Structures are given as C-alpha cells and as structure tokens.
Amino acid sequence: MKFNIPDTNQKRVVIVGGGFAGLTLARNLSRNKAFQIVLIDKNNYHQFQPLFYQVAMAGLEPSSIVFPFRKVFQKQKNVFVRLAKVQAVRPEQHEIDTEIGALRYDYLVLAMGADTNWFGNEQLKANAIPMKSVSEALYLRNAIFEDYERAVTADDYEDRQRFLDIVVVGGGATGVEVAGSLAEMKRHIIGKDYQDLNRDEIQIHLIHGAPRVLNAMSEEASAQSEKFLKDLGVNLLLDKVVQTYDGKVVTIDDGSTIKADKVIWAAGITGNKIEGLPASALARGNRLICNEFNEVSGVQDVFALGDIALQTHEPAWPNGHPQVAQPAMQQGKQLAKNLIRKHKGESMQPFRYKDLGSMATIGRHRAVADLPYWKTQGLLAWMMWLFIHLLYILGTKNKVFVFLNWVWNYLTYDQSLRLVIKPWRRPEPYSPRINSI
C-alpha cells in the first residue's frame, strides 16, 4: 500500500495526530499554499475529549462530539488525510514508517497525544476501564447499563452490590466529573428506569492518591468540589492508592477492599511513544523534550505539540505545560506561524503559554473555575463551563445537538441515550466437518 500523495515543490508537513494540537496546526497552516499538509491519525475524526464522560454517562451521542477530518478540509486542496498508525521515525532520511508504507517529510510534527497511564500494573490494565477515546466511553456506557440489568435479576445481595457499586480512581477533572455525573444518574435516573432497584444501595467511590481532589487547581476549588461530591453522596477516599484490581475486588494500600464489577481509571496519562527518536529526547511520562520553538531535542525538522511536548523554558512552568487542550491549541497556532516564518527565511519566535485558567464541573449548578484574575464556584462557574465547552466543539450541527441535549436534560432531569449497543462481529465462516472413515 502507498500514501498516493503527489510530490510537489511545496514544503511537506506531516502531522501525526489530529487532536487539539495537530488539528489546530493543520487548520492554520492550510491557508498557506506554500505547504502540503499530510494529517495522519488512527481515526478519521477529531474527538472532543472533555466531553467523553458525558457520552459514557448517556448524556450525549458519540456523533455529537466527533468531527470528520475530511469535512474540516473539504476546501483545502493542499491537505491530505490518511488513516494509519505511525510505526517509526527515520530522522536521517526524513521519513516515517507506517502500516500503509513510508512517507517523506520536510517537517514532521508529532502530536499523538497521550493514553491511559497504568503505572506498570498489568492487572489493573486488564480489568479496569479507561476513558481516553469515544470507543472506550461507549464501552463504559454499555458496562454500566448491562450491570444495572444484571442487578435487577440478582437474588443475592452481595452479587447485586457488585453490579451496582462503581469505583472511580483519580481525582482530577475527569475523575470528579465522572463521579458527579454517576451520582446525578443515581439520584435522577435510576428511580425512573429501574423501579425494582433500591438506588440507596448504589455506592460511588472516588479514590484519589493525594490529600485533595483537583490538586492542580486552587485550594478553594478543591474544597468546594469535595463539598459538591459529598452532597451528591460520593464516598471520597483521599490520599489512598489502588494497589490491585482483579475484576471483582479493589485492594487499596491501607489494606481495605471494595467489591465492584466496574473500576473507572482516570488516574493519569502517559505519552504515546514512537520508535526512532533518540533516548535523550524522552522524558518522564513519555513526553518529548522540546526547545522554545517546539523542536524535539537531538533531531532536525521534528516538532512535538500538545500532551507529549515537554517545554521547560518558561519560569512559570518548570515542569512543562499542563496536558490539557489550551496549551495544545496555542502551540499549534504558534508553530504554524513559525513554519511560515522559517519558510520565508525569518527567525522563529519562542512559544509563550497564556494561561486562560482551568475549570471542572461536578453536576447541575455545581462547577469550579480558576480564572487568571478571579475564582468562582457554583452556578456561575457551571454556566461558564457549558458556554466555553460548547464554543470549542467543532461543527455547527454538533453545537446545536449538544446544546439541545443539555437543555432537554436540564428541563427533564433525564438522559435519553441509555442504550446498550454492542459492536457486531462477523461470524466464523462455516466449515462443514468431514468425518473420515
């Protein structure tokens, strides 16, 4: 197989990954016809990661938070989208190896993002449920509602508790949002759909390995988030670490155990690795060491953006920028400007991160926001969270669908997407058995 991309006199920029960083770069650079852009991703769509948990909790349709790359670049003749997995980089030859062949580049931009960090615990990896993609969010949605269906037919109390109880590991933004959403589902949905279940039997546990949740945010935000979670009935287990999970029992470092069929893992991320780069460029968490221009250390014409980029040139961010959407998008915009400047023979300008603040929502009227000049919690923060997330979703239709879903959920205290949709698998081909005599 081949890429089937024409060789032209344009500078070829190969972008690996169509997340916030890669897509922002491609959109900004595509306006300049001096560049030929090849966007490579294992999916043919962009995923709006901040709302994965709402898909998992049956609040949104998966299609409303994804957007096809080819739709984005319909009018850009200098952009080529290819569905592939990149296997290795060969910096000396200015080539990458993929499952569909090799491809030459003038500039290579690595924006593969990050995946779930299991901290080397293979048992947890085999049994817990991650949430770093739409498909994983759908898997979690299926698991939750399948277990509710099992619970209504379980005669034994302990079996029923195993189906009903849910453990969330990780008290960052994803963890608190998932726990809060589960608690609201317990409060508003279970009594309607599962009248033969006692919703008071459902226990939601949030385990976090630090003394406070949202420890990257202010102490006020953390304290208010903990209050919101407790008001919703979430059992907080702070400063505790999950040691093992065998699919049925969670074992914590203090020796205590929790029986649960579902453990949602939101305890950290690690960068997606790619072969061929010097070991000296790799830092903790599989992040790539970059200079102020996002150039990867030790190689030429290779850049890194987003979650996998580690820049320590700014005194305010000695450990690198936060692994969230805003730094990724800002890096993408700046690199587009720098590649244009470099093509013109001008010097590149260093990246400077503008911190726009951080937010998290725990449920209806419950959110926290740390903005550059002020902090707020409660209803105002919740409304700001809704507006900002709606603003950044790609596509007018997606914005409308998400908004209508939110309005419906708000007015009716209901979620209309509680469906268990299992992936279809092609049956094994029929092979008649021939009896030998």
Write the pLDDT tens digit of every residue in 363-411: 999 999 999 989 999 999 999 999 999 999 999 999 999 999 899 888 8
Alpha helices in 128-271 (DSSP H): 134-152, 157-164, 173-188, 190-193, 219-231
169 confidence band (pLDDT: 50, 70, 90): very high
Find the mean pLDDT for residues 30-48. 96
Residue 424 has pLDDT above 90, yes or no: no
Give the number of C-alpha atoms closer than 13 A to the C-alpha of residue 199, restricted to the C-beta side.
Answer: 16
Rounded to 5°, angle at Cα 267 from 261 and 185 = 50
Instruction: Evaluate whether 334 touches 349 at the Cβ level (below 8 Å).
Output: yes
Q: Three-state DSSP class for 288?
A: strand
CB 356 within 8 A of CB 328: no
Give tens-digit pLDDT for 291-314.
Answer: 999 999 999 999 999 999 999 999
Task: Give residue for tokens 């059992």.
Answer: 235
For the chain, domain boundaries: 11-116+270-343, 122-267
Mean per-residue pLDDT, 76-84: 95
> Sorting pLDDT into bands at 50, 70 and 90, what band is 272?
very high
Q: Is 11-116+270-343's fold the same as 122-267's?
A: yes
Report, as an integer, the average pLDDT of 192-210. 92
pLDDT in tens, 122-134: 999 999 999 999 9
Half-sphere exposure at residue 260, Cβ-oriented, CA atoms within 13 angstroms: 25
Q: Does residue 211 carry a pLDDT above 80?
A: yes
Under CATH, what is the fold of the domain 11-116+270-343? FAD/NAD(P)-binding domain (3.50.50)
The confidence score (pLDDT) of residue 189 equals 86
- Please answer whether residues 234 and 81 qualify as being in contact, where contact means their C-beta atoms are separated by less than 8 angstroms: no
- Right CATH for 122-267 from 3.40.50.740, 3.50.50.100, 3.40.630.10, 3.20.20.70: 3.50.50.100
Cβ-Cβ contacts under 8 Å for 196 (sequence gap 6 or more): 152
pLDDT at 437 over 60: no
* Stretch (H or E) spanning 95: strand 95-98
Per DSSP, helices labelled H in 189-279 are 190-193, 219-231
Which pLDDT tens digit goes with each residue over 49-72?
Answer: 999 999 998 889 889 999 999 999
Q: With contact defined as beta carbons under 8 Å apart, do 180 and 362 qualify?
A: yes
Percent of the chain with pLDDT over 70: 96
The CA distance from 342 to 322, in Å, is 27
CA distances from 266 to 178, 327, 350 (A): 9, 20, 33
Look at residue 426 and tell me whether its pLDDT is greater than 80: no
Q: What is the pLDDT of residue 83?
A: 95
pLDDT tops 90 at residue 315 = yes
DSSP for 336-361, please give it.
HHHHHHHHTTPPP---------EEEE
DSSP 8-state secondary structure symbol assigned to residue 296? B
